[in-house]
Homo-oligomer: A and B are copies of this chain.
Amino acid sequence: MPVYVMGHKIPDSDSIVSALSLAYLKNQIGEEAIAVRQGELNPETAFILKTFGVEAPALKTTYAGDSIYVVDHSDRAQSPDDLDQATVLGIVDHHKLGDITTSAPLECWIRPVGCSNTIVKEMYDHHGVAIPKEIAGIMMCAILSDTVIFKSPTCTPVDIKAVEELAVIAGVEDFKALGLEMFKVKSALEGTPIRELVKRDFKDFDMNGNKVGIGQLEVVDLSIFDSIKAELEADIAKLREEGERHSVILLLTDIMKEGSELLVASNDISVTEKAFGKTEDGKVWLEGVLSRKKQVVPPLEKAFA
């Protein structure tokens, strides 16, 4: 029986690509594995897969009775709703340790690096398995995406080394140029419904019993949001109520200016202000903040503690 390799709900490029790259590795070492996804591809991921001619994983939202590898997360809020009826064989992740537990020993490769695919690269090296050209290409792009082309504080020397090695395998000379092209695709808003933008890269967190949703949009120029900011603010307020969330935060990240504007909808703004300082009409600019994981979630968890 094959095992499934699956990233988080509302998958980003790392979630899709690490499912593909880990599934390929598992098959090479004699374990039949199928990459799947819990949600729709975002435009950036579609661009990455198209660039290297790789097919997207199939959509799969229920896992009862299945054996699975979990990639790019370790918390239940981002896992399938029927996770308890599945067997988790392993976790490959680069986030804080979440609340998934198992009833049998498993394999966890969790590292404080910038991208899950950096860890998958380590696993290929560990097993002595060669990475095919097209898999190397998508892995390289996933790392460039998660590390914001090495600008994110989550980026480590291991990520940079992995990209450099993967670029050689993929035959990509100017990986930074490809990265910027990718972020331009990511920045495109035209014609996208507001809710789709808000939820493009959106994760729910459990913070001391409070449900907090945090979305992030990374663009090459923040002014792109000027004409729709009011709509975004209205929509996160609606999303907060619909999901019975304590707060919804949307990070508008400018990867060139290297900072983020936070839009906040909260039933108690004092908590987010404790974490990030005074907001103005539910908004605040945070210089140098690029990483949800490293710069937004930890101070927020402290504020909720």
| A residues apposed to B, CB below 8 Å | 75, 88, 91, 94-113, 126, 154, 293-294, 297-298, 301-302
Contact = CB atoms under 8 A, between A and B. Distances in A.
Contacts of A100: 97
Contact of A112 (B91, B97, B107, B109): B107
Contacts of A111: 105, 107-108
Contact of A107 (B75, B88, B110, B298): B110
A98 B96 contact: no
B109 A108 contact: yes
Contact of A97 (B94, B101, B294, B297): B101
B102 A97 contact: yes
A68 B154 CA distance: 21
A103 B294 contact: no
B302 A103 contact: yes
A110 B99 contact: no
Contacts of A91: 97, 108
B107 A101 contact: no
Contact of A106 (B96, B99, B101): B96
Nearest to A98: B101
Nearest to A111: B107
B110 A108 contact: yes
B103 A101 contact: no
Nearest to A293: B105
20 contacts: A88-B97, A91-B108, A95-B105, A96-B102, A96-B103, A97-B100, A97-B102, A97-B106, A98-B101, A103-B298, A104-B112, A104-B298, A105-B112, A105-B154, A105-B293, A105-B294, A106-B112, A108-B110, A110-B110, A126-B126
Contact of A110 (B101, B106, B112, B302): B106
B97 A108 contact: yes
Contacts of A108: 91, 97, 108-111
A111 B108 CA distance: 6
A297 B101 contact: no
Contacts of A75: 101
Most B Cβ at <10 Å: residue of A99, A102, A105: A105
A75 B103 CA distance: 12
